[in-house]
Amino acid sequence: MMDRIEIRCDMPSAGWQLLPLTAEDWSRVATGPALAPLAAAGLFRAEAGEGFVLPAPEGAGGQLVLGLAGTCAADWRRLGAEAAALGRSRRLGECWWDGTAVTDEALIAALLDGFLLEGYRFERYRQPAAAAGAVPRLTLVVPPARQADCAALLRQRLLVAQGVTLARDLVNEPGNVKTPQYLAEQAWQLARQTAGVRAMVYGPQELRRQGCGALLAVAQGSAQPPCLIVLEYRGGNAETAPLALVGKAVTFDSGGISLKPSENMEQMKMDMAGGAVALATLITAARLQLPVNLVAVIPAVENMPSGSAQRPGDIVRSLSGQTIEVVNTDAEGRLILADALTFASRLQPRAIIDIATLTGACIIALGHQAAALLGRDETLLAALRQAGERSGERLWPLPLLAEYNEQIKSTVADLKNSGGRPAGTITAAAFLGHFAATPAWAHLDIAGTAWEEKGRPGQPVGATGFGVRLLLDYLQQGC
């Protein structure tokens, strides 16, 4: 996409001008003979999602007129996505936008994000004739004094978009391709290609030696061996403890013996979205050369039913030494995260952020508009919420009261892996809290935001990459 966006200081003499209009702008310009009929018929009101192409009288280009609902970053992000979508649908080769009057870099960044992300499609398994086509080339016109800054901003947003693309591609891969070993190989390759990144992969024998009983129990029903993927990036001070990102990676989740319903089970290839986000965030932070120390811990398994699968009622011993009664084999994500959180805690990080498609209860509570945020460090939680608002990947806090621990007490083990239907998102987080041994810990449940079922501006049907832009924004603020 880098070759599809250009920063320049002079106005193009031809092409299609991107013209965003608020309702106030529209009422002022919709008086000429070409526009008045549209206004009179109410066909365009300058609302979000509205747009049309107005060819120039001489036939060389024209204008892409789009509604701009407001002046916040979310409005500009949608504007960029809708401009790319309209240009693609009309097969426009090039368009340009006059940004000389826009001085807020956050708005320009949002426009770029929307335009770049609308260009994403997962089509590697489709015939070329079925492909969606390319978005147009975009030229941003800025004053000479801001050209260098805007060029640097473009490079930054391109790298961020590449990070989102990486996460989306990994999640969209089908389960017959995307095994735990496939994820490990992708991590190895990315680490070799990215300066400052080191990768380690722990296979079944090493996991058994270390005592990762919870992770191994989930994997024992599958023919695909599990692994624990660990990536390190040290861009900060050598004496500074790292921030740990822990991402759940169940490459396909059938539910195990507690088998899921068949409806929409094909989407369970996305149950490794948290791991994809952790991997993509660390790699992108390294590409951006952010001055931070990071470690990503990604437990990768496949959860399948078989004669060797774990059973409801089994008791497993986790890496922490705590025993867990498995009352539901479809509550497997928290089992592999238990060992991953313990592993991450032993690295003595300054904070742990785990991200996971953990509970269907999160979708019931928050739908698909926000991810759940829980934890026990108010400063960390507040910073993540602010990053969510800036990036458009919003988080909503849920209470993590001590009383919720009562629901995950077992009569035969230290804990049980499900507290039942009431407050399911909260009790899952409460369970994880027993294994995150750092005071600063946050849990992001992205079950409702990791997958898009209908498609929207900047986001086709499929994986969203939710969390990459949020975490990178958090890191860029100095975390």
**Any idea which residues carry the catalytic annotation?**
260, 334
- Buried/exposed code over 305-314 (b: 16+ C-beta within 10 A; e: otherwise): beeebbeeeb
Helix (H) or strand (E) holding 299: strand 293-303
- C-alpha radius of gyration, the chain, whole number: 24
Query: For residue 221, which of 312, 336, 310, 314 has the smallest C-alpha distance?
Result: 310
The answer to whether residues 325 and 313 touch, using CB atoms and an 8 Å cutoff, is yes
Structure tokens at 203: 């296979």
Give the 3-state secondary structure percentages of the chain, helix then strand then coil, rounded to 5.
Answer: 40, 20, 40
Alpha helices in 10-146, H assignment, sequence order: 23-29, 36-41, 73-89, 105-118
Helix (H) or strand (E) holding 151: helix 147-172
Give phi and psi for 43, each to the nearest 5: -80, -20
Alpha helices in 178-271, H assignment, sequence order: 180-193, 204-210, 213-219
What is d(CA 250, CA 304) in angstroms, rounded to the nearest whole number?
Answer: 10
The DSSP bridge partners found for residue 443 are 354, 374
The answer to whether residues 415 and 322 touch, using CB atoms and an 8 Å cutoff, is yes
The answer to whether residues 74 and 454 touch, using CB atoms and an 8 Å cutoff, is no
Query: For residue 160, which of 8, 272, 3, 2 has the smallest C-alpha distance?
Result: 2
